[in-house]
Amino acid sequence: METTVAKVNAVTIPRWFDRHLHVRDVDMLRNVLPCTLNQRAIGAVIMGNLKHPDETSTIEKAKGYRWRIRAMLGILQTFGVTTNKDFEPRMTCYLTDEITPEEVVRGFKEGVWCGVKLYMADQRGLGGTTNSGHGVKNLLGRYPVFEAMEREGIPLLGHFEAVEPEVDEFDREIVSVERDLDPLLNSFPGLPVVFEHITDGRAAAFVAEVKHNIQATVTAHHLMINRNEMFRNGMNPVHFCKPVPKREMYRLKVREYVTSGHRRFGAGTDSAPHDESAKMRCYGCAAGIFTAPTAVELYTTVFDEDGALEHLGPFLSENFLGLYGVKVSKETMTIERKPLAVPQKIGNVQVFRGGTELPWTLVG
């Protein structure tokens, strides 16, 4: 006898938490922060690679940035732009070659930051992504910091990509797994590590299988597009981000871990707004995909396509939240099978899948 599975038309899960978000500063902050608030997030890990990228590289600077975000939250609430009253920005320390282990630990203990963001730069100060040139040039030189973090249980949030220009763009992640991450985990077996925006199926297999305490964030766009989407019918800067989307078989591998409900993978949008003018540069187009306005609907679409809606809740709203000092929300949100028109732009920022329809809508 044929079995029929009833089509699920609504999903109710705890309110979610974005484990990796760029909200920028000042005007851009005012423009994009409401998107994540209106997606009912209880909070987000705020990445601080701002225009002056070392702006979150000391306790004082990170506090200043948090103050500006909180002030903006207050303004948006006062003017009724959002009804989200309890959004909590969780700050990160932008790791440089200079900060001392003592300051990293103090910032964590004082509740200024919940983890340390690792970007790597080459010897000339060239980073692999937006505003990462002040990142770490000498990884071994930072081992005393990692030792202190291991001792105190401070999470390392790592952008693992080789930055040297001679490394093939599509292999940068896996090269960094073998060269940087594996030795790091072996030297600091107790260090909690989050592999940020994982894209390569080989890296995902490493995360899923290694014995160490490691998890990975996954963006909605990396679950949805492969590298062809950057070139379909011509160059599409809107689909250019770092790490670059990978070949189809690697995208599918990552997606398989995610939608099969593997607990080491959790939602981190890496929603990264850039003005259209920066995305349209012929040389040096800015890396970043802006998914914040419909992040929940995008992830829901992916899980639905894979017949895995039962794993959506843990992925968005539960997996390894404790690592950031965040509790699973007691409040819920509901996503319904109902078409949603994705806006083309928010201000001057092109939205991922703008102008199309998604099959799901977050209704409250």
DSSP-derived 3-state class of residue 15: coil
> 147-206: which residues touch ligand DOR (CB under 6 A)?
159
The catalytic position among 18, 200, 270, 304 is: 270
Let me know if 168 is a catalytic residue.
no
Q: Is 241 in the site for ligand DOR (CB under 6 A)?
A: yes
> 33-92: which residues touch ligand DOR (CB under 6 A)?
49
C-alpha 326/C-alpha 193 separation (Å) is 16
Q: Is 351 in the site for ligand DOR (CB under 6 A)?
A: no
Neighbours of 364 (CB within 10 A): 9
Which residues lie closer than 8 Å to 257 by C-beta, 6 or more apart? Answer: 204, 205, 207, 208, 264, 265
Identify which of residues 161 and 304 has a Cβ nearer to Zn ion in the complex: 161
Q: Which of 281, 244, 265, 242 is nearest to 19 (CA)?
A: 265
Identify which of residues 163 and 316 has a Cβ nearer to ligand DOR in the complex: 163
Identify which of residues 312 and 349 has a Cβ nearer to ligand DOR in the complex: 349
Spatial contact of 268 and 219, defined as CB atoms under 8 Å apart:
yes
Q: Please select the residue that binds ligand DOR; options are 33, 193, 287, 316, rule is CB under 6 A.
A: 287
C-alpha 237/C-alpha 348 separation (Å) is 14
Q: Scan for tokens 């639905």, then name that residue.
A: 304
Q: Which of 193, 268, 274, 252 is nearest to 17 (CA)?
A: 268
Instruction: Write down the least CB distance from residue 286 to ligand DOR, Å.
Output: 6
Identify which of residues 45 and 72 has a Cβ nearer to Zn ion in the complex: 45
Q: Is 32 in the site for Zn ion (CB under 5 A)?
A: no
Q: Is 47 in the site for Zn ion (CB under 5 A)?
A: yes
- Contacts of 134-140 with C-beta under 8 Å, sequence gap 24+, read 134/53, 134/54, 134/57, 134/94, 134/96, 135/53, 135/94, 135/95, 135/96, 135/159, 136/95, 136/96, 136/97, 137/97, 138/97, 139/180, 139/184
Q: Is 288 in the site for ligand DOR (CB under 6 A)?
A: yes
Q: Please select the residue that binds ligand DOR; options are 149, 184, 267, 272, rule is CB under 6 A.
A: 272
Q: Is 340 in the site for Zn ion (CB under 5 A)?
A: no
Q: Is 270 in the site for Zn ion (CB under 5 A)?
A: yes
> 119-138: which residues touch ligand DOR (CB under 6 A)?
129-130
State the residues that interact with ligand DOR by CB under 6 A. 22, 49, 129-130, 159, 241-242, 270, 272, 287-288
Question: Active-site positions?
Answer: 270
